[in-house]
Structure 1
Amino acid sequence: MGRFDAVETAWRQYDAAYDAMATHVHSLVTRLANGLQAPEVVAEQGALTTAVEAAVVALAEALTGYQTGWDGFTKAVGARVSSNTEVKRLDALISALSADREMRAITAYDAVLDQSKALMQEAEAYLQKKQVELLGARGDEVRGWYDLMNPGADVGYDGMEPGTDHVKLHARSFGVRMGAAANLSECQLNCLGLAVWMMRATTPGSPFGFVVFDDPIQSMDDDHTEAFIGSVVPQLLDGHGKQVIVLSHVERVVTRLRELNKARSLRVYNFDAYSAAGPVITTEVKLKKLISEIKTFADGNEAHRTMAVDRLRVLAEQFIRELHAKVQGVPAPAEYDNAKPSELLKLFRTIPGTLPAEHDGLKDTVGFADPAHHTEVGYAAPTKANILTHLNRIECLMRKHGM
């Protein structure tokens, strides 16, 4: 009875594996309504498929073992009673019945295989269908992000196609569909890569309230860079409520982000003096950086001294903006976003704690620096001593106001 028990046990194992697979398939519609469960469903599909295949193999082995045992039993009985005619007749009958069992076992085995294959094909087809639907919906999000960086472009994102172990990205140029990887420029591929990444980063239900970009404008021209800074970053901030962290080696990117986000809670940090222990991290001190540049240019020839005077004008403008933010607790009003230094002097007079003498002194410095910015005909760069006199005036104001 041992071999018969093995067949019965193997059949029960197969029956349980088949029921589990059927339950899994019937639950796919409900579970895949939430796209975030797709990886779990695919993994469970693989485990159940493996279980069904293992049960089929075990059942086949048990049936083969049973047949082998039965053949051995009939041979042993036949050898002991071969001289008995009636027993020979009985043996013939047993052989016929044995063949019938074998045929039944083979038929059952084939039926099990057919059922398993059909069930697996049904599950795979349904998963493929849901994957296409999910990629289509998420693809619309990718298109939205890509279009933000490529407004009105003739070459656009066209969709995602599921592969065996990867996802294919397609583009469309002048109505022709093509593979994105082989046909887009580096700039366009970078935009597409960012679009796919942002689609994932803004998935509903994500536990992360921030996104991090490391040199996101690589291979981008000025137009695409401006689109990223002026359209993508605000969309992440306002449309998705994300905190945005941008790492960049490009000064103009940092400067532009500062200009467009003055009204936000903005922080800029510098990473300097790298060593084995790591970098020195400081909050950005734009005023001190400008002062260092002015002193360096003031030591140079006439062209450099002209640049030093122009930087002095920028320093005066930045000083007024940062003093207002420090004292008032808010950035300068929007009406001063594009104001000239001479116009910012009006704002300086409204800052509590500033004195009339400081107003007059800063006005004198702005007047000294303004001609260098406009490069008036016949302009001659002042001497180093004159430049440093005005620079010292601003440095005194900074110390007095704790800057």
Structure 2
Amino acid sequence: MVKIETMTIAGLRGVKEPMTLQFGGKSAIVYGDNGSGKSSLADALEWYYSDKIERLSCQEIGNNGIDALRNVRIDKNERAFMTLAMTDKSLNAEKEIIYKKDRLTAKFSNAAAEFQEYIKASQGENFIVRHDKLTKFVLDTKTDKLKSLSEIIGFSSVTAVRDTLKKAVNELGREVKNKGYENQIAQFQRSLLEYLGRNVPDDEKFIEAVREQLAPFGLGEAVKSVGDAPTALASLQASGDEKAIAVLAALEKIKGVTAGMDGKIDLLAADYQSYASQFAQLLADTGNIAKLALLDLLKAGAGVLTGGSYAEPKCPLCLQDKNLNDLQNELLGRIASLSELQGKLSKLEASRAKAKQSAASLRQTLAALLSDAVFKGEGEEKVFSELKKRLEDWAAGINPFEAETSKAVIDGAAPDASLALDKKALVEISGQCDERIQAIRAAEAGNARTAAHTNLSMAVKAYEQLTAMKKERDVIVEQQAALSKIYDAFVQRQKEGLEAFLAGFSNAIDEYYEYMNPGEPIKDLRIVPMTDDDELKGLAIEYQFNGQVLGAPLRCFSESHLNCFGLAFFLASVRAFNPRNGFIVLDDVISSFDSNHRTRFANLLIDKLKDYQIIALTHEKQWFEYFSKAVKGNPHWAVKNIYWDDNKGTYADEAHEDKRAKIETLLAAGKLEGLGNEMRVYLEQFLKEIAERLEVPVKFMFNDRNEDRMAPELLAALKARVDKKSKDDFAAAHGDLFNSLQRSNFIGNKGSHDSSYVPTRGDLNGLWDEIKSLENALYCSGCKQSIATRYASETEKKISCRCGALSYAWK
């Protein structure tokens, strides 16, 4: 897994001037006071990988939050960028915000296909968590839990396939009903019976019936297949019946279409009743529906309380006295209730859309029929004008459905559940067509050849349509049957796969949770699937409380317990589903934890996630101090500070190595101004570190004054410690190094304060050489670690570095 070596930020959020953080693939605890801009690191990383900042992606800002990412205090021509150097150097890149036609956009410096694939893959990983997102999964509805987890683990694509299959199966079923295949097939068969005088269930019977009709004219033997019928029909050489055939065809079309609408009518009735029923159920909640507009406000309020930044025992909106725990529980209850109501409204809108679609389908079918040329022709204009009027009158019955499906629940008026379309009227229209068909056929009955030509023409048309209709129906029915089998098998495999995954995933969550909550009554946390008729509907959280299996974490979980679960869920998600990135960013997640959970969480990160690079950002001073002490000397961890300056914005302490390189660069260039101060600061930082490693006793001072020790005091204390423990051995190797440095440090002190004394280049070179000499005396060039009491040997009376290459006698 790839980790971060170096991060450089400039012109992004609170960071104005370039700020570089050296991680070297290590984990880091990063402290910064509130307002110091430490969250700028998380914002920049989120933007780098996802091209947006979710918490800034609102309507007021727009552009996925990028417009709020660029530091507002830099000029338009100044660069705003983030550079990441990774443990895999092929993935090193810089991402810069640029202006393109006065709109902010971004570009990467690395155009390699491997890097582009890495960024795309990383967008499916979840490696940044902020405090306001910790409890989201815990407090989500069952459906939203399924959605959230599906997105994290990539299961959403599996669910999408399942939903697509289900939709396809349902749509094919609707199509069978919507097209009314069976009614239309029955109508074609009735027409064949009418024109051929017998049933024709298959090709053989059709050929037989056609040959019987043609036999009186000596043409029957020519028909040996269905395809021969049109040729034989042309051989009858009848005349004068083309107009009658056209009218008969139009009348048969009307009969077929009206017969096929039976299924459409039933579909509309079912869709409308489902819509009306859901609508009626929601009418009882019109008061709460009006409050749905407050849902975002309630969520924001809950976020404020959960975030720990608001501690006054008052409602933050009305300022009435209120217990914050009670207020938070009330808010969460209202949010859950309104979220459930919002889900019902979404289902109503889906039902409304279906009912509207069904009504539109009926109207479109009638509109297509009424656009036929026969309704504008001459000769038979009377019968067709009457039929057109009756069909248009019948179509007016669709209007109420369209009106009722446009109602809003908030208006409080229920849809008319008694609406129905008149099937009897369509039967009467079909009967009117039959009457006219019989009249035309009766008029031709006196001319056998003409009558036979008309009957066979209509029979051939009907049989062609019958055959095509059956094929179309059979294809859809076979598709539906095949997809149903695939869907059933897919659902079963999905259920089995999810259950197996959730079992392992729950074990990881429970392991992390119980590590932070040892010996407490809440244990054995589980995420379990919720099904309805074997269909996955959502996820729920179960746990044991004093041996009893319960759900609904809010019943028993305190705020700290909720946060512990949220962290356990996030960490388990990272371990399970982040195959590429081995780093995690925790942005002030500890704010609402009590002291016990804070220390346990720090220990969890140190002990249980050693193979991950953790970047923990915090403004909690005590937790930072505990964490810093816990990782002192740990080669896998670094400690860093973030500060704020009104001029340069957010900035970080320079790493020890960076300060050293900076001093040597200034010395080489002869840039002496302020160099003495740089050396003094470097020396004090080094002396504090070595004093801690050698357990050097210094005079007690209150509070943060211990952090303000000066170099002379530290040098004196360090010399006293070394003289006591290793005077002969150390002095033999390095002479009077401490006293020499003590004298030379005068140069650094004078060079860092207002003084008439101006150190020369030679003075500063001498001081720097002595500082390096002390470093070389105490630091091993091999393992890069200083001698330390943790490496002291009582039996050998020696002290050494970690690898043992540097050692001294030590009493």
TM-score, L = length of structure 1: 0.55
Q: Does 1:167 align with 2:340?
A: no
Q: 1:40: how far off?
A: 3.0
The separation in 2 between residues aligned to 1:310 and 1:276, in whole angstroms, is 25
Residue 228 (structure 1) shift: 1.5
Letter in 2 for 1:75: L
Contact 2:176–2:473 under 8 Å retained in 1: no
Confirm or deny: 8 A CA contact 1:271 1:280 kept in the other structure.
Answer: yes
Equivalent residues in 2 for 1:223-262 (5 A)?
Answer: 223-237=596-610, 241-261=611-631, 262=633
1:122–1:248 Cα change, 3 Å: same
Are 2:502 and 2:528, in contact at CA under 8 Å, matched by a contact in 1? yes
- 1:75 pairs with 228, 248, 254, which one? 248
Find the aligned partners of 1:248 and 1:399 in 2 and give their Cα distance: 38
Report the Cα offset of residue 114 of structure 1.
5.5
The structure-2 alpha-carbon separation of the partners of 1:184 and 1:353, relative to structure 1 and needing over 3 Å to count, comes to farther
What CA distance in whole angstroms lies between the structure 1 residues aligned with 2:615 and 2:769?
A: 31
Partner residue in 1 for 2:157: 40
**Whole-Å Cα distance in 1 between the matches of residues 637 and 768 of structure 2?**
21
Higher mean C-alpha deviation, range 241-250 or range 344-353: 344-353
**Secondary structure, aligned partner of 2:629:** helix
Counterpart AA for 1:202: R
Looking at structure 1, the residues matched to 629 and 560 of structure 2 have their Cα atoms a distance apart, in angstroms, of 24
Aligned mates of 1:354, 1:169 — CA distance in 2: 68
Other structure's SS at 2:519 match: coil
Residue in structure 1 matched with residue 502 of structure 2 by the alignment = 135
Aligned equivalents of 2:458 and 2:184: distance in 1?
A: 16
Partner of 2:778: none
Aligned equivalents of 2:768, 2:629: Cα separation in 1: 22
1:61/1:355 Cα in 2 relative to 1: closer, same or farther (>3 Å)?
same
Rg larger in structure: 2
Deviation of the 1:167 alpha carbon: 3.2
- Alignment check: 8 A CA contact 2:583 2:615 kept: yes
CA offset at residue 44 of structure 1?
2.7
**Deviation string for 1:210-265 (max 9, x for gaps)?**
1111223233222222211223322111xxx1111111112222222222222314
- Tell me, what secondary structure is at the counterpart of 2:619? coil
The Cα shift of 1:130 comes to 1.9
Structure number with higher relative contact order (C-alpha < 8 Å, ≥ 6 residues apart): 2
What is the one-letter code of the residue matched to 2:613? Q
Cα distance in 2 between the residues matched to 1:342 and 1:167? 65
Range 198-207 or range 72-81, more displaced: 72-81
Say how many residue pairs are matched.
298
Structure with a larger share of its residues in helix: 1
Check conservation: 2:172, 2:476, Cα contact below 8 A: no
Which secondary structure does the structure 2 equivalent of 1:218 belong to? coil
Q: Could you tell me how far apart the structure 1 residues matched to 2:651 and 2:707 are?
A: 29
When residues 229 and 90 of structure 1 are mapped into structure 2, their CA distance, relative to the original with a 3 A threshold, is same
Provide, for residues 110-130 of structure 1, a one-character-per-residue CA deviation record: whole Å limited to 9, x for no partner.
676565445434422432232
Equivalents in 1 of 2:494, 2:582: separation in Å? Answer: 31
Q: 1:176, CA displacement in angstroms? A: 1.3
Counterparts of 1:344 and 1:60 in 2: how far apart (Å)?
A: 94
Q: Work out whether residues 523 and 545 of structure 2, in 8 Å CA contact, stay in contact via their aligned partners in 1.
A: yes
Cα distance change of structure 1 residues 268 and 309 upon mapping to structure 2, 3 Å threshold = closer
* 5+ residue gaps, structure 2: 1-151, 192-244, 251-436, 531-535, 656-680, 689-698, 743-766, 776-811
In 2, distance between residues paired with 1:172 and 1:314? 50
What code does the residue aligned with 1:270 have? N
- Whether 1:272 aligns to 2:643 is yes
The separation in 1 between residues aligned to 2:723 and 2:484, in whole angstroms, is 81
The CA deviation string for residues 322-351 of structure 1, in whole angstroms up to 9 with x for no partner, is x99xxxxxxxxxxxxxxxx99788579687
Distance 1:91 1:274 in 2: 94
Instruction: Pick closer, same or farther for the CA change 1:104–1:44 going to 2, 3 Å.
Output: closer
Whole-Å separation in 2 of the counterparts to 1:225 and 1:354: 47
The AA in structure 2 aligned to 1:219 is: S
Question: Greater CA deviation, 79-88 or 213-222?
Answer: 79-88
1:56 and 1:112 in contact (8 A); partners too: no
Please give the alpha-carbon distance, in whole angstroms, between the structure 2 residues aligned to 1:105 and 1:312.
Answer: 87
Give 1:296's aligned residue.
none
SS at match of 2:653: strand
State the SS of the aligned residue for 1:254: helix
Q: Does 1:146 align with 2:513?
A: yes
Whole-angstrom CA distance in 1 between matches of 2:705 and 2:735: 23
Paired position in structure 1 for 2:18 = none
In the TM superposition, what whole-angstrom CA distance separates every residue of 1:26-48 from its partner, at most 9, and x where no partner exists?
xxxxxxxxx96643332233334
Counterpart contact for 1:169–1:181, Cα < 8 Å? no
Change (3 A) 1:400 1:205: same
Q: Deviations over 1:360-399 (max 9, x none)?
A: x9xxxxxxxxxxxxxxxxxxxxxxxxxxxxxxxxxxx999
Query: Match of 1:281, as an amino acid?
Result: A
* 1:83-162 equivalent positions in 2, closer than 5 A: 83-84=444-445, 87=452, 113=480, 116-117=483-484, 119-162=486-529
- Name the CA distance, whole Å, in 1 between partners of 2:491 and 2:626: 50
**Letter aligned with residue 260 of structure 1:** A
Equivalent AA in structure 2 for residue 208 of structure 1: N
1:66 Cα deviation after fit: 11
CA–CA separation in structure 1 for the residues paired with 2:583 and 2:180: 59
1:369 aligns with: none
Are the structure 2 counterparts of residues 346 and 227 from structure 1 closer, same or farther at C-alpha, using a change threshold of 3 Å? farther
8 Å contact kept, 1:161–1:168: yes
Q: Look up the SS of the partner of 1:224 in the other structure.
A: helix
Following the alignment from structure 2 to structure 1, what is the Cα–Cα distance between the partners of residues 600 and 714? 29
Task: Trace 1:279-318 onto structure 2 (pairs within 5 A).
Answer: 279-283=650-654, 307-308=701-702, 311-312=705-706, 315=709
Q: 2: distance between equivalents of 1:225 and 1:140?
A: 22
- AA in 2 matched with 1:236: L
Going from structure 1 to structure 2, the CA distance change for 1:175 and 1:136 (only over 3 Å counts) comes to same
Give me the whole-angstrom Cα distance separating, in 2, the residues matched to 1:135 and 1:271.
Answer: 39
The answer to whether the Cα contact below 8 Å between 2:153 and 2:573 also exists between their aligned partners in 1 is no
**1:185 is matched by which residue type in structure 2?**
S
- For structure 1, which segment, 112-121 or 349-358, has the greater mean C-alpha deviation from structure 2 after superposition? 349-358
By how many angstroms is 1:147 displaced? 1.5
Are positions 1:176 and 2:349 aligned together?
Answer: no
CA contact (8 A) 1:146 1:191 kept: yes
| TM-score (normalised: structure 2) | 0.30
State the match for 2:433 in structure 1: none
Residue 143 and residue 355 in structure 1: after superposition, are their counterparts in 2 closer, same or farther (change >3 A)?
farther
- Partner-residue secondary structure (3-state), 1:212: strand
Q: Which amino acid aligns with 2:556?
A: N
State the identity as a percent. 17
In 2, Cα distance between the equivalents of 1:343 and 1:121?
77
Query: What is the letter of the counterpart of residue 567 of structure 2?
Result: L
Aligned-partner SS, 1:268: strand
CA distance in 2, matches of 1:263, 1:220: 25
CA separation in 2, counterparts of 1:248 and 1:348?
40
In the alignment, the residues of structure 1 paired with residue 735 and residue 548 of structure 2 have an alpha-carbon distance, to the nearest angstrom, of 64
CA change 1:278–1:60 in 2 (3 A) is: farther
Residue 190 of structure 1 contacts residue 218 of structure 1 at CA under 8 Å; is this kept in 2? no
Q: Could you say which residue in structure 2 is the equivalent of 1:3? A: none
Asked if 2 retains the 8 angstrom alpha-carbon contact of 1:145 and 1:232, the reply is no
Bigger drift between 187-196 and 72-81 goes to: 72-81
The CA distance in 2 between the partners of 1:274 and 1:156, in whole Å, is 46
